[in-house]
Chains A and B, each alone.
Chain A
Amino acid sequence: MRLIKETSIKFMAQSRLGLYLSGAVIGAGIISLILAGGPLLSIDFKGGTLLAVHFTDPVDVNNIRSAMSVVSIDGQPFDLSKAEIKLFGGTRDISVRIPHMDEEPANFAQRIIAHLRNSFPDKVPEVESDFILSIDKVGPKIGSELSNKAVLAIISALGLILFYISIRFEFNFALSAIAALAHDVFVTLGIFSIMGYEISLPIIAAFLTIVGYSLNDTIVIFDRIRENVKSMKRLTYTQVVDHSINDSLSRTIITSVTTFIVVLILWLFGGEVINLFAFAMMVGVIVGTYSSIFVACPLVVRLHAGK
């Protein structure tokens, strides 16, 4: 069976269209990022407390919010109604996110959970440990360290990749590949900002995987260009690039579709914890495939012409 017969699409002639599309998506992302004052960072980077609890009956977020408006811990009052309270998965689970405070009493998260338990006694599971789904508490120091580490991780990954491609191919290819990767990360970051999703530690991992995947895709095409440049001496550089994209198109589509299917399944069935990770990956697979053809290749052509 063959889905894709031999094609000879003139991709490079359409590269302007790609420029507009990428420009529009990245532009929208940047506007959203500016309006939101930067990416929405999770407590992993900002510090704070995130807790998730499970009720036996569906709960209304507004009721939780009003219960959280007065939390008294040893006479020290806290108004946590401004905390981010939302449903977590189904209608019975909620998550509460509280920014870091300088004057936090000991066992802050545990005391808040106790307060919630006392506020809705008839909706709480009998076994105490079934009530707490998770507690994450990150100090501001750890948070700022993780931000630095994440930035350092992405930069050093890109640096190493630049180095490898420069050796295996040529510097132009490396630059184009890195531009495509930056494109992918920006698009995903923008979409996360537009959707109002948080960037947490696992999302950084997803970003790096997107980088890996997109690069994988780009290299397959580059590899073809490298090969065809030698054998198709009579064609122009643009024609060689078009030819190479068409040659590898079948593989590109099969791989992208199968990978997309697995991350789609992960997104649909993987559970609340991994949901955003899978979403980032889904966006990444689409954007990564697109950027190999419409960002990396036109750049290679342009850089070649500029020589």
Chain B
Amino acid sequence: MSKNLIPRYIIIGVVLAWALVTLWPSVKYQQLSPEDIEDMREAGTLETLENKIIKLGLDLKGGIYIVLEVDLPTLVTTLAINKDAKFERTVNDVRNTLTENPQREFFTVFTEKISENGLRLPRYYDVDYGAKAEDILNSIQEQADDAINRVLEILQNRVDQFGVSEPTIQKQGNRRIIVELAGIQDSERARALLQSTALLEFFLVKSPEVTNDILSQIDKVVKGDEELEALAAAVDGEQGQTEDGELAVSNDQTISISELFGKDEVSSEDAESGDTAVVVDQNIFQERPFSSMLRALGNNIAVPEKNLYAIKKIINKPEVQDKLALGNGRFLFAPEAESFTTNRGLEEPLVYMYYLEHDADLTGGVIEEANATIGGQGTSAVGQPIVLLDMNSEGARTWSRITGANIGRRIAIVLDKKVHMAPSIRTKITDGGTLIEGFANMDEAKDIAIVLRAGALPAPVKIIEERIVGPSLGADSVKRGTYSVLLGLALILVFIPFYYKLSGIIADFALIWNILLVLAVLASLGATLTLPGIAALILTVGMSVDANVIIFERIREESRKGKTPRTAIDSGYARALTTIIDANVTTLVAALVLYQFGTGPIRGFATVLFWGIMISMFTAIFVTRTIFNSFTERRGLKKLSI
């Protein structure tokens, strides 16, 4: 071997050694049993190993990918003071415009609607005298940017406490946060954890008399409603069974929602089905369309789950909202339905509904500590999951004042606009301690304790994209992907030596080397291998073969012209070089563009393609050349095996 080849072999050897060392942890990780992984996790050595292996994307190992966006319309409303109907209308206009043209930027639309509606911005925001609308908008924008950073921090905090291995939470642009949770299956729980604003509020419950009054007022308002008149007639015509019970309502009749709100709401063919029907008392429906859809449960009002949608529709009617505003009250519901046995012995899921003071007496931000536990003896929630709260001194003072002034009244503990409980105040609470009950299970109580501890989000967030891959699909993809790569590789490894003889074996070596190197680069970059990434790996195989084919065909051509092996290889390589570079650079451009524009899996594809091309160029130009040269250096080589 001539001296000038030795440095080349050293480079090749070092790179190969590096690739093998870099890939070793991944190989080791593959062989670990689930028990080994648990042991390592406990010993704390797992993370070091996981940092060195090729990471699998969510599409391969299963998990949840969620994109959250700060809900700007709600944020500007939250920031505003002295909100009036005009302000609310403007924000609603903005909301509608954005729904129709999702691509438009919020602040542009907001500015537009402000001038359209003649809204005087300084009226609504706490600013120095003489501040211009422009300054206010800028300041809101700044607060929005600031909010996203705090949201990011709080979400990180929540996810850390949730206990997921390797969660990824990152900011995308100015308004979005991407959360990736590997190996999580319960997407509902994850969504609740991320989306909860953790806004804890305490509202005084209105007295039963006031509540009854508003119900009958709403009945009167809705009674004249055209949408409901047709229904009233329909109910009149069909006299069903009459059966009296303890509850205020007994003569149940099912009426489809489409009849209630017009045919366009649902397809008419389902109208007959009991599943989508509203349960009402036919005798009183005509007179009291709203309250007839409700149930009385002791001192409480409850809504049959089937009627929930209809009730919410009625409450949101503008004329009903006006009545509520006059009475300075609001309706809120319990988080979930509970099953009750009706007097006819049927199980019926009911959701509690509360009529509350419009403004909260105490809002979040006062919680110092929150812990989930099981309710002890002597409490109202024996054996039930509860969350114990501790307030800071300011919160405790306010809490003490409210409880002291309202002994005997009920107070609703509201989290994210859902009433968890509404106990009666028996004594003045001075230490700021309180508890929340009304959770479906211990997990939910734990999650809520987490979000309360991590603090409330400064702005509500919406989920705008969500991708969940189940563990079985991910495992299937890995299996099939690996299988396809290996099979394709095997076929090519056999075909190339068959066609190019000994030179083909050099090409085979280059191919294997290529794949090892691409994987090693991925491992050392901490890049993520996705399913499209596997596809890119297969393309890399094609690229690598192509580079060698271009060279070999050129060498064959030169040999046919009667050149010696040595000169044929030299001129073959020289001529093939420009072709290979020109051809690969263009694919490289495509890969870079993909990386720039793509997200998630597409980026994974672009990353592998980029490194695949770079490495295959290096291999074709440097590695195989070196091997060829060491063959031709031997004297007396008359014929190339190609």
Contacts and interface: CB of A to CB of B under 8 A. Distances in A.
Interface of A: 1-3, 52, 54, 69-70, 72-79, 102, 106-107, 109-110, 128-145, 148-150, 152-153, 156-157, 160-161, 164-165, 168, 201-202, 204-205, 208-209, 211-213, 215-217, 219-220, 222-224, 227, 247-248, 250-251, 254-255, 258-259, 261-263, 265-266, 269-271, 273-274, 277-278, 281
A269 B487 contact: yes
A277 B471 CA distance: 22
A255 B542 contact: yes
Contacts of B620: none
Given A141-B102, A269-B484, A205 B594 contact: yes
Contacts of A110: 187-188
Nearest to B585: A164
A101 to B, nearest CB: 11
B253 to A, nearest CB: 15
Contacts of A152: 597
Interface residues of B, number: 95
B257 A136 contact: no
B469 A134 contact: yes
A205 to B, nearest CB: 5
Given A75-B257, A133-B470, A142-B464, A215 B309 contact: no
Interface in B537-573: 538-539, 541-543, 545-546, 549-550, 553, 556-557
B435 to A, nearest CB: 26
Given A139-B464, A164-B586, A216 B546 contact: yes
B498 interface: yes
A262 B187 contact: no
Contacts of B556: 2
B492 A205 contact: no
A251 B553 contact: yes
A269 B479 CA distance: 10
B162 interface: no
Nearest to A264: B488
Contacts of A212: 586-587, 589-591, 609
Given A129-B185, A140-B102, A255-B546, A77 B276 contact: yes
A134 B477 CA distance: 12
A157 B589 contact: yes
Contacts of A143: 102
Contact of A273 (B267, B276, B531, B606): B531
Contacts, number: 266
B4 interface: no
Interface string B585-621: 1110111011011100110011001000000000000
Contacts of B593: 153, 156-157, 160, 208
B451 to A, nearest CB: 16
28 contacts: A69-B269, A75-B257, A75-B307, A77-B265, A77-B276, A106-B191, A110-B187, A134-B467, A134-B468, A135-B468, A139-B102, A141-B102, A157-B594, A202-B601, A208-B590, A212-B591, A216-B584, A216-B586, A222-B582, A227-B575, A255-B545, A263-B542, A266-B488, A266-B535, A270-B484, A274-B477, A274-B480, A278-B535
B225 interface: no
Contact of B308 (A54, A75, A79, A250): A75
Contact of A132 (B191, B470, B543, B590): B470
Contacts of A217: 583
B532 A202 contact: yes
B300 interface: no
A153 B597 contact: yes
